[in-house]
Each structure stands twice: as C-alpha cells, then as structure tokens.
Structure 1
Amino acid sequence: MAGNVPPVADERDGLLRFLEQQRYVLKVAAHGLTDEQARRTPTNSELSVGGLVKHVATTEDGWLDIILKLPQKPFGEAMADYAAGYRLGEDETLAGVLARYDEVAARTAEVIAGIEDLGQPVPVPKGVPWYPQDVEAWSVRWVLLHLIEETARHAGHADIIREHVDGGTAIPLMAAVEGWPETAWVKPWQAATAPA
C-alpha cells in the first residue's frame, strides 16, 4: 500500500481503508529499527516509536471492547495500563508489538464486518475525565473516525521520533518498504553501516 488510499466502494470501506492506511504509515516509521532503537525517546517527550505502536494497538483494541460492550477495567487500573502502554518494555520486542497490531487490525475488520449499521450506538464510558459526561453514546462511525484521527496523530509523532533516532523520514522509508527503485527524487532508506 502506497501513501494514498485507493478508491473506496462505500463509507464502511472508506473508513476501514483510511484506518488501514494510517496503521501502515505508522508501521513504516518503525521499519528497520532495532528493539533498542524502537525504545529510544530522543525528544523532550517520553514517546518512542515502539511505544507508539503498542499504544495505538491497545487503544484500538480497547475501542472494540467498548463497541462490543465488554466489561471495562476500573479507571485507576486502566490509567496504570495506559501509562505503561506508551513504553516498549525491556521484555517486549518491536516485532511482537507489530504482530499484536496486525492481530488488532484483523479483529477490527471482523468486528466492523459484523455490524450492520455504522450508526449503532456506542456507549460513552463514564468517569473518564476527557469524555463528555452529557453524551450518552457515540456511533460506530464516530469510533472509526476517532481511530483514524488517533492513529494519524501518533503516526506523525512516530515520524518525528524516527527522524531523531536515525534520520529516517517517511518517503525514503516507504520506498524501502515497498521496494521502489532509486530515482533522482527518492532514495530508499538503508540502514547505516558501521565504519570499517
């Protein structure tokens, strides 16, 4: 998949494809990183590329649980998990969180395929300070749009962090992932080699 979504058949297809494209560009930002590089926090924030992939996978999966009206953890416990969800732990690998992200994406496709009406209400979790207390429900459509926005925001974070880690930027990384030939405009990213 290149940097643009192909033509879409309908609203559902469009929402899922735009979400898929944002997942893809986030994963492109992780291309070629070692686990150690994926843990690096080279900016003033505590964000890392690996931690961002882990966070968006967990967030997307959590929204599926809300859509399906599965039991939620108490807010305090959820917040502890939320904070840890931004870090790629020493016992975790980039390959592992990327595989988990693929599993979540497959779950999203399956869950959304089973929902006939994208206007189906999704209850607003109560007691969460950043959710409106005067709104009872969003829709599945709203959740998908929110996931696109959330993933896009963090894909942008990952681009900045990646550039700080090793200089890799979006288009050369995408060229490397997709096997584009080198041109006068684009040279596919290559891992730096250690001096002899």
Structure 2
Amino acid sequence: MPGQVGAIANEQEGLLAYLAQMRYVVKLTAYGLSPEQLRATPTASPLTVGGLIKHCASTEEGWIDDVRREPRELDYTAYEENFALSEGETIDEVFARYDRVAARTEKTVAEIGDLDRAVPVDHSVPWNPKDLDNWSVRWVLLHLIQETARHAGHADIIRESVDGGTAYPIMAAAEGWPASPWMKPWQPAS
C-alpha cells in the first residue's frame, strides 16, 4: 500500500480508504520485530506495539458491533488486557483478527450505504456526551480513523524506542522500496 491514500470517488470510499491506511500504518510498526520487542515497554507508558495493534482491532470491532446494533459485553475491568498481547498470542493472530475486523467493517458500511444512519450512543461510559442520543455511521468512521491514527503515533514512538525504526524507512523496507539519497529502508540492527 502506498504511503498516501489514492484518489477517491465519494465520501464513503474516502472514509474507508483513510481507515484502511491508518490500519496499515499501525500494523507496519510491528514489521521486523521479535515477539519480545512486540511486548517491550521502552517508554514511560506500559503500552507496547503488539498491544496497541490488538487494541485497535478490538476498538474497531466494538464500534462496528454498535453500528450493526449487535449486543456486546463491555468488561472495563479487563481494559488493560485489551492493550497487551496474551501469553502465547502472536502478532500473526492479531493481524488475522484485525483483517477479519476490517473486512466486516467494509461489508457493514457497504450494506448500510447510508453514512447518516443513526448509531445509539452508549451512555454507560463517562466520556460519551449525555445530551446526545445517536452518532452517525460517518461519525463512527471518523472516530475510528482518529483512534487508529492516535495509536499509530503511540506505536511509532514505542517502535523508535525499541530499535530506532521510524515510519517511512519501515514502510520502505516492508514494501521493498529502493534506497535513495534521502531514504534508506529500515534494516534490523546487526
């Protein structure tokens, strides 16, 4: 996938394309990392690259449950576990789940076809406005873009702290870009 979203024909296509781009860049932060590095906490935060990717998949899945008006169990006592790879859980398993979530998001939005469709606001959590009864599908997609981009930034900082890798050199390595005078693809430390 290129470093930029391509041309878009309409709003729905644009929202889904930007969400796909943010999924891609957050997943790229794991490129070339060992299982130990995916779990490393090299900053003041307890966040990890693997845990952030897992959280993004879980968050998107929950929001699409809301869009589909499917019940879900919210267990905020296990919130921290949402940000960490479980014992034995692999990044490939997390990627596979995230890919399934992404396919479900795109299918759901295509089936609905109406970005103005109402999505009930969950008033059980303190961060949602009490004076608003519904979001729209459009709002949910924009929120998912925002949430994924925020966590991609967190993952970028953690990744750089783990091994010095930064976004575009990692993308260059993952996509096989040739080295240039201004961009060298990331390589593992020897």
Aligned residue in 2 for 1:87: 84
CA distance in 1 between counterparts of 2:174 and 2:25 reads 10
**Alignment deviations for residues 38-57 of structure 1 (CA, whole Å, 9 cap, x no partner):** 00111001100000000000
The equivalent residue for 1:177 is 174
CA RMSD of aligned residues (A): 0.9
Which secondary structure state, in structure 2, belongs to the residue aligned with residue 122 of structure 1?
strand
2: CA distance, partners of 1:94 / 1:116: 32
Instruction: Report 1:17-166 matches (<5 A).
Output: 17-73=17-73, 75=74, 78-166=75-163
- Contact map agreement 1:34 1:94 (CA 8 A) in 2: no
Shift of 1:81: 3.2
Distance in 2 (CA, whole Å) between partners of 1:127 and 1:35 is 36
Identity %: 58
After TM superposition, the score normalised by the length of structure 1 is: 0.94
Q: Secondary structure at the match of 1:138?
A: strand
What CA distance in whole angstroms lies between the structure 2 residues aligned with 1:157 and 1:132?
26
The CA deviation at 1:151 is 0.3
Q: In the alignment, does 2:11 pair up with 1:14?
A: no
Read off the aligned partner of 1:15 and give its amino acid letter: L
Residues paired across the two proteins, number: 190
Q: After TM superposition, what 4+ stretches of structure 1 lie above 2 angstroms from structure 2?
A: none
Cα displacement (A) at 1:137: 0.2
**SS of 1:4 mapped into structure 2:** coil
Rounded to whole Å, the distance in 1 between the matches of 2:172 and 2:122 is 41
Deviation string, structure 1 residues 56-104 (Cα, Å, up to 9, x no partner): 000000001001111132x5xx212322100112221111111111111
